[in-house]
Amino acid sequence: MDRHPKEIIAEYWDLRSESYARGVTANGAEERRVWKRCLEPFTADCNIRSALDVGTGAGFLSFILIDMGIDAIGMDLSRGMLSQAKEASSHQRFHLELCQADAESLPFRSSSFDMVVSRHLLWTLPDPARALNEWMRILRPGGRILAIDGNWFDPSPKKRLARGISNLLSSRSQNRNPIPFQKFYQPIEKHLPLYQKSEPNRCHALFEASGLKDVAIDRLQEVNRFYRGHTNLSYRLANADAVFLVMGEKGAGQLR
């Protein structure tokens, strides 16, 4: 392969940024309220004042954290996505600090954040273990990592069939993805360890292997129920009950 996977990933999300920022539901306010309720249990029991949103995209998680009284910085590899986050920040009258950087090599001092969050990012990282090590490095002792993901590309026959029907339906829809996903990701999927394995048990094991403590999984039932009721048929077929959260804490005595 002539190009590094990250170059291809950045190019795809630059091109996809405008359509992605429109989201998958028409009820953005209710979607944010659902996510806020699901995130509150992970922030209420510890002193979280600052957070880094890695792979912020259009700033979705960052805005929720700010609304919860947490100072958030949004970071992304894609400049196109950061442009969407900046525009959304201005529109919503939130002050969101933004940074263009690589999730696997962060430009921040060690122990400088209370929390690191990500949403729909682990599956697209060439080295998720290295990313977690970096996230732990910038986390203060006692801090917390929340990674939200989904098993989007489950290779089971049932899921493959569902995605095939979904693709057929979406190809005839005005809401279809205007950027050919497979053109970008098919050549690099073998370089992405979690591409077909972004599942709760695999992510749980990854967190534990990184040295994180008290690792736990939340199946985000309210979030998945919301998407079942507020998305079109093609999305529901491909992504039914796919979203989950994995949480881990940096031990009080851990240096990285």
Query: Model confidence at 2, in pLDDT bands (50, 70, 90)?
Result: confident
Higher per-residue pLDDT: 194 or 27: 194
3-state DSSP assignment of residue 110: coil
Query: HSE on the CB side for 159, CA within 13 Å?
Result: 13
Q: Which amino acid is at 91?
A: H
What mean pLDDT value characterizes the chain?
Answer: 93
Which tens digits make up the pLDDT trace of 171-193?
766 667 889 999 999 999 999 99
Segment 148-158 shows an average pLDDT of: 92
Higher per-residue pLDDT: 45 or 28: 28
pLDDT for 255 beyond 90: no
Residue 92: what pLDDT?
84
pLDDT-based confidence at residue 44 (cuts at 50, 70, 90) = confident
Q: What pLDDT does residue 174 have?
A: 62
In the three-class reduction of DSSP (H, G, I as helix; E, B as strand; rest coil), residue 98 is classed as strand
Mean pLDDT across 105-126: 98
Phi, psi of 168 (to 5 degrees): -65, -45
The share of the chain scoring above pLDDT 70, in percent, equals 96
CA pair distance 44, 99, nearest whole angstrom? 26
SS3 90: helix
Give the whole-angstrom CA distance, residue 240 versus residue 236.
5
Q: Measured between alpha carbons, how far is residue 187 from residues 55, 78, 181, 184, 194 in Å?
A: 22, 19, 11, 7, 15
Task: Quote the pLDDT of residue 93.
Answer: 82
Q: How confident is the model at residue 119 (pLDDT cuts 50, 70, 90)?
A: very high
Task: Give the β-pairing of 139-150 and 243-249.
Answer: antiparallel
**What is the arithmetic mean of pLDDT over 221-233?**
94
Domains of the chain by start residue, with CATH: 5-249 (3.40.50.150)
CA-based radius of gyration for the chain? 17
Check residues 234 and 148 and name the one with the higher pLDDT.
148
Q: Residue 220's CB: how many other CB atoms inside 10 A?
A: 21
The answer, yes or no, to whether residue 240 has pLDDT greater than 90, is: no
pLDDT computed for residue 63 by the predictor: 96
